[in-house]
Structure 1
């Protein structure tokens, strides 16, 4: 497998929230994985999420698109919290203005 070909997404339920851990790059090749995963979560009625990004070291514009779609789905009826965001990824969030619309712990 070449770098960027897949992202490992794991999840578990805890305290009424879905805890999601992302491992790998969130880019053009992998963003459809996250989009599909989140679609199944929303379809199952889940609405409160915490995303651990400790092992996600890159987010492209395609990844940002999926993240903003996630935020839009929960803005009025749910929650989305990002944890352990790597400095280089936080730089991307800050440069794009995402740091103003997302919630971080």
Structure 2
């Protein structure tokens, strides 16, 4: 089964793991300690993320360090871009309407 970046973010635990890796690489044990599940369950999520191509694992001695591969995550940003543009346009239109309403004299006073 081919996995892609969207499979990676489909699960809340995997999204949390990705968020945990945004500031620094972490070993598997450190990541596992952040979740209320077994280390084996977290390891399966990490393996899934690696198969999706969003993290890399570097073995250092007995530890495995997970690193975020942000290049692969750009696929999500690219996919979301049309939606971001749509919402930006809608908010800009709303801002124009609100400014027009605020600039009208209030005849009710």
TM-score (norm 1): 0.27
The structure with the greater share of residues assigned to strand is 1
TM-score (norm 2): 0.26
The structure with the greater share of residues assigned to helix is 2
Q: Bigger radius of gyration, 1 or 2?
A: 2
